[in-house]
Amino acid sequence: MAFRHLISIEDVSMPLWEELYALCEDIMARPKAYSLACSGKVLATLFFEPSTRTNFSFQAAMMRLGGSVFGFSEPSATSTAKGETFADTVRMMSSYADAIVIRSPYEGAALAASLYSEVPIINAGDGGHLHPTQTLTDLTTIRRKRGAIEKLTVGLCGDLLYGRTIHSLVLALSRFPEISFYLISPRELSIPDYMLAHLKQLNQKYIETTNLESVLPQLDILYMTRVQRERFDDPAKYERLKNVFILNRRKLMAAKEDLLVMHPLPRLEEIARDVDDDPRAAYFEQARLGMFIRMALLYKMTHMPRIPAEPLRDNTEGVCVNERCITRREPYLPKLAKPGALGQCEYCDKNLLTR
């Protein structure tokens, strides 16, 4: 399939990743040469959920390419508040812009948007599901700091259930050679079943554990995450789980000298401030690199042709079990099962119920 939308990191083939990374390096080396690369192009940013880095790094990236940006970060100021459907909002924006960046609290929202858009859709986070441009940022960081993405023991720590950055990073890293994972979380926040099924299908090496300190000495990369308060129905449960893992300078003494400590940010208590000065702390540089890889992505995606949306048809009778699936919020969306996995929702990967 030709690259058209970035919904999942799996839409980025390995050759495309190499192309984007090379472009990112060139942009960093020669920023002036790209300062008009997107002149006359317009990016729409539709943020139905709060964001600092993702939203502003996309805006900064587009401006540094000489392009323009419009959009919202407060949907209450748009016709969504009047009851306009998501599909109609996307249709309109796609007629004004050359590419659309979208973040939503609903899982599968970016895929849904791609069904109605004439221009490329970029998933900037869909609920607790996926976050592929954060993963491009993460891969860029690992590649720059390590020289290559291979032979790495990677610890993923914190909220593996709702952490969308984790899901996309696991999907991405499992395509590189000799990567093994420690999945470090409380049992209640362990990685979703569909992700485990994927890892098993790939014969990927992974170990699930609840103990960060016991595995820390073996890690080449430690990817910490915030417990995702906004996805919890029960505030007491969040309070109980939010600080289960705290990385601090004392614990880091047991880690490798060349460990990379990464975090998509925002960081709450899970990384103590005393880690920030440690040379192994990579998270602020990671956030900066995100802007450059997004420049490479925007350069590529805003120059793609406008293609009319195709007519839509259901391919299943099934209803998604996931209450946070975009199909539960926008019932007119076509009912779609994953090709080859008829019981799985194409939008959010959760199970479909057939009557």
Residue 242 touching ligand NCD (CB under 6 A)? no
Can you tell me whether residue 155 is helix, strand or coil?
Answer: strand
Do 96 and 42 form a contact (C-beta atoms < 8 A)?
A: yes
Residue 41 touching ligand NCD (CB under 6 A)? no
In the complex with ligand NCD, the residue whose CB is nearer, 41 or 167, is 167
Give the one residue of 265, 320, 336, 337 binding ligand NCD; rule: CB under 6 A: 265
The secondary structure element, H or E, covering residue 70 is strand 68-72
Give how many residues touch ligand NCD by CB under 6 A.
11
Task: Give the β-pairing of 352-353 and 205-209.
Answer: unpaired
In the complex with ligand NCD, the residue whose CB is nearer, 66 or 192, is 192
Residue 110 touching ligand NCD (CB under 6 A)? no
Q: Is the peptide bond before 266 cis (omega within 30 degrees of 0)?
A: yes
3-state helix, strand, coil in the chain (%, to 5): 40, 20, 40
Task: Give the β-pairing of 68-72 and 42-47.
Answer: parallel
List, in sequence order, every residue forming a beta bridge with 47; answer none if it has no partner. Answer: 103
Residue 226 touching ligand NCD (CB under 6 A)? yes
Residue 131 touching ligand NCD (CB under 6 A)? yes
Residue 125 touching ligand NCD (CB under 6 A)? yes
Name the minimum Å distance from CB 348 to ligand NCD.
15
Name the minimum Å distance from CB 24 to ligand NCD.
17
In the complex with ligand NCD, the residue whose CB is nearer, 138 or 352, is 138
Do 100 and 44 form a contact (C-beta atoms < 8 A)?
A: yes
Name the minimum Å distance from CB 349 to ligand NCD.
16
217: left (phi over 0), alpha (psi -120 to 50) or beta: alpha
Nearest to 65 by CA among 45, 46, 41: 41
Tell me which stretch binds ligand NCD (CB under 6 A): 36-44, 189-197, 264-272, 339-347. Answer: 264-272
In the complex with ligand NCD, the residue whose CB is nearer, 53 or 256, is 53
Residue 134 touching ligand NCD (CB under 6 A)? yes
Tokens of 138: 């993460």
Residue 5 touching ligand NCD (CB under 6 A)? no
First-to-final CA distance of the chain: 33
Residue 333 touching ligand NCD (CB under 6 A)? no
Residue 165 touching ligand NCD (CB under 6 A)? yes
Task: Provide the binding-site residues for ligand NCD, judged by CB under 6 A.
Answer: 53-54, 125, 131, 134, 164-165, 226, 264-266
